[in-house]
Structure formats: C-alpha cells, structure tokens
Amino acid sequence: MPNLSIITINFNNLQGLQKTMQSVFEQTYTDFEYIVIDGGSTDGSKEWIETHRNKLAYCISEKDNGIYHAMNKGIQQAGGEYLLFLNSGDYLLDNKVLENLVKDGVNKDIIYGNIIWETNNEYRDGIFPSYLSWRYFREQSLPHQASLIKKTLFENYGLYDESLKIVSDWKHFILAIFKYNCTYQHVDLKVAMCNRNGISCDPKYQSLIKHERESVIKNFFINIDTDFSFNEEKLQSLESQLSIFQRYKRTFLFRVYRKCFNFFKSK
C-alpha cells in the first residue's frame, strides 16, 4: 500500500473546508498525512484549522498568489509517495473510499477514479475513460480530486505552472502522459464529490481556458496542430502518430539508442 499526502487548499470557504476535512478524518485508510494550505482567510477558516492542528502534518494560513501557488506550497511540504489534491468544498464520498482506491495495489504514476459533480444541489456522475487519448484531452482533463499522483512527477517534471490561471493541472497531466510517457490506471470507483461552482466551470472563463490550452500545446507539442476544432481525419492521424511514438519509446532499440546517445553526449 502506498503512503499518501492529501493536500487541501482553501480561501474563505469555511463551510466547504469543514466538509472536506471531516471526510478525510473519517477515512479507514490511515497511511497518509494531511496538509492544509489556507490563503489567509478571514471567515473563521484559520481558527478551524488551528483546532485540528494535531491531526495535520502541516498547515499554514497566509496570503498566496492563487490556486496553483497554494497547491505548489502543499507539494513542497508533502512527504508521501503519492499526492491527492482535495480542495475545500470537495469531499471524499465515504469513509472507505481511499481504502477501496488502493486495495488492489498501486504501481502506476497516476491512478484516478470517478467523481460526482454537484451544481446547485443537482448531481451528475463524472466517469473517466480507462484509455486516455489526445482527443479526450482536447477538451477534458482528469479529476485531481480523485487522482493519486506520484510526487516524483513533480520532482522530475516541475511543479504546477503558476503563470496559468485555470489549466495548470491539465498541463501537468498531458505533459506527464504524452511527453514523458508516464503510466496511468483507471479505477472504476466514485471517489469524491466535486463542486462545479469554480472558475474552471464558469462559462465566462471558457475563452481563457481555450487560450491557455492552446499556448501549452504550441510550447510543448510543436509538431501538433494547435487548432482545437480538429476534424475526425486529423484527430485519427494525430492519435495514431502519438500511439506509434509511445510504443516506440518502450522498445529495446529505443532504450539502446538513448543509452548510446547519452554516452557520446557525455564525452
């Protein structure tokens, strides 16, 4: 079983924070540490966190520079092999959900389950695919509220990009999977209840989301068309190229080539 760091960030959301923290405290799975990063709240959140300090591996309440800055502060304090980001207002669905998530063993870079979306007391299942294609990530992402992410991914490939306002977690997932060929596994389990009232679900921010995603593709996947209105033929061609390259990266010849390249490069 993996040891886990659960990270919660919060700013002036006392009611949501209470629900989130309580869902963590009630877990039957206990091989985890809990980290809470508060952005200097003035609504009683700081005092609530202090009353539970003895259950926390680390907590702080101070002004930060936004969501991803706060998440990065949590990463830097985390000591677990895997990280789970459960922000205030989101909560684990039952007290055995972490136990069930890891019961069959964990040996991939990213392990993700399903969620339930909540919007104004209306609920919708968020079911995620077992195979993650480029076509899927064109408009979707993985739920960080239901994903165990190896800390080494942040150590090797960098923290969340704080220059992005909305899609930095999406960027980290696509770089991990399509650029660095990290492994992943889907677990068919509803892990968390997630609130859809954040800016990533707000229609007025959709143009910013599109702009940020296009800039990531342009900067890191230069040979891939950044037009997000792909037709079916272009999508199939793109996915075929990515699939062939990922299979090639796992071959014996590629590993030999890489070792030879690194040998001569060091001379």
Q: With cut-offs at 50, 70 and 90, classify the pLDDT of residue 228.
A: very low
pLDDT, position 30: 93
% the chain with pLDDT above 90:
70
Three state DSSP letters for 219-242: HHCCCCCCCCCCCHHHHHHHHHHH
CB 32 within 8 A of CB 80: yes
The answer to whether residue 80 scores a pLDDT higher than 90 is: yes
The CA distances from residue 45 to 17, 59, 60, 89, 209, in Å, are 7, 12, 11, 12, 29
Burial class (CB in 10 A: 0-12, 13-18, 19+), 151: middle
User: Which range is least confidently modeled, 44-48, 108-112, 251-255, 261-265?
Assistant: 261-265
Q: With cut-offs at 50, 70 and 90, classify the pLDDT of residue 229.
A: very low
User: Which range is least confidently modeled, 78-92, 149-163, 234-248?
Assistant: 234-248
Looking at the domain covering 4-220, what would its CATH class be?
A: alpha beta
Q: What is the pLDDT of residues 140-196, one digit of tens each?
A: 999 999 999 999 999 999 999 999 999 999 999 999 999 999 999 999 999 999 986
Indicate yes or no: pTM above 0.85.
Answer: no
| Domain spans in the chain, listed from the N-terminal domain onward | 4-220, 232-266
35 or 267, which is more confident: 35
The answer to whether residue 231 scores a pLDDT higher than 50 is: no
CB 71 within 8 A of CB 61: no
The CA distances from residue 53 to 50, 215, 222, 231, in Å, are 5, 40, 47, 53
- Over residues 223-246, mean pLDDT: 52
Q: What is the mean pLDDT of the chain?
A: 86
